[in-house]
Amino acid sequence: MRVVLIDDDKLVALSLKTILESTGKIEVIGSGASGNEAIELYGSLLPDVMLMDIRMNGMTGIEAGEIILRTNPDARILYLTTFSDDEYIVKALSIGAKGYILKQDFEGICPALEAVMKGQSVFGEQIVSKLPVLMKSKPKLDHERYGITEKEMELIELVAEGLSNKEIAAELYLSEGTVRNYLSAVLEKLDLRDRTQLAVFYYTKLAE
């Protein structure tokens, strides 16, 4: 996996490079210390994943990511930060970032990169659980626009609220097997990979 690393703390950047390359599966092909460098490096190196800090001098990682994704919509950007500010979570979700994890979780960095490489979203349970509050109000939904039935819409809403399959089954008076089947059908219809992406989709797309 080819990774570009962006962090304005040289010591942190060096430590991260050591951690990533010690796996033998990840090659750090470039590193930078600013949003501008992130944009330049992505354009010249086209990495598999960009691992980027958020708070940096000048342009933030979010601003740089937004510019990168505007011209490279398939770019995989994983944000790594010491800050779990709600404002950044919402913005990272809205621009199409693939993940948002905290620097303190060193053991989770490499697995997160692998998950993003496989096409999954990595926002962590503690972040997904905040979505209903962060988005302030319940969206007005046009589910027919996406070919979603009313029953499937009920399922999506419960997933977005953080309920497990067992809890959803009890809420909708269905078996867990039926809930799994519904969930698989919904993910296929919306071309999504997991329930995290479904929750993000609910709050960022169905509300449009």
* pLDDT tens string 9-43: 888 899 889 999 998 999 999 999 999 999 999 99
180, pLDDT greater than 60: yes
Do the beta carbons of residue 180 and residue 187 sit within 8 Å? Answer: no
Q: 196 and 153 share a domain?
A: yes
Give the pLDDT confidence of 141-162 residue by residue, as tens digits.
Answer: 566 777 888 888 889 888 888 7
Q: 104 and 161 share a domain?
A: no
Which structure tokens are listed for 58? 């000048």
Cα separation, 102 vs 201, whole angstroms = 22
Which structure tokens are listed for 159? 């997933």
Do the beta carbons of residue 28 and residue 3 sit within 8 Å? Answer: yes
16, burial (CB in 10 Å: exposed 0-12, middle 13-18, buried 19+)? buried
Cα separation, 85 vs 102, whole angstroms = 11
Residue 141, Cα to own-chain centre: how many angstroms?
22
What rounded mean pLDDT belongs to the chain?
Answer: 85
Which structure tokens are listed for 205? 């797309």
Q: 172 and 192 share a domain?
A: yes
Q: 25 and 107 share a domain?
A: yes
Do the beta carbons of residue 4 and residue 29 sit within 8 Å? Answer: yes
CATH code for the domain of 9: 3.40.50.2300
Q: 60 and 120 share a domain?
A: yes
pTM passes above 0.85: no
Do the beta carbons of residue 1 and residue 12 sit within 8 Å? Answer: no
Q: Residue 106: give the domain boundaries.
A: 2-128
Q: Examine the fold and report which residue of 111, 128, 145 is the final residue of a domain before the chain moves on.
A: 128
Q: How many domains in the chain?
A: 2
CATH code for the domain of 185: 1.10.10.10
Q: 12 and 110 share a domain?
A: yes
Q: 44 and 142 share a domain?
A: no
Q: Examine the fold and report which residue of 72, 96, 128 is the final residue of a domain before the chain moves on.
A: 128
- Please enumerate, as own/partner, the contacts of 105-108 that have beta carbons within 8 Å and a separation of 24 or more: 106/19
Q: 50 and 109 share a domain?
A: yes
Q: 103 and 20 share a domain?
A: yes
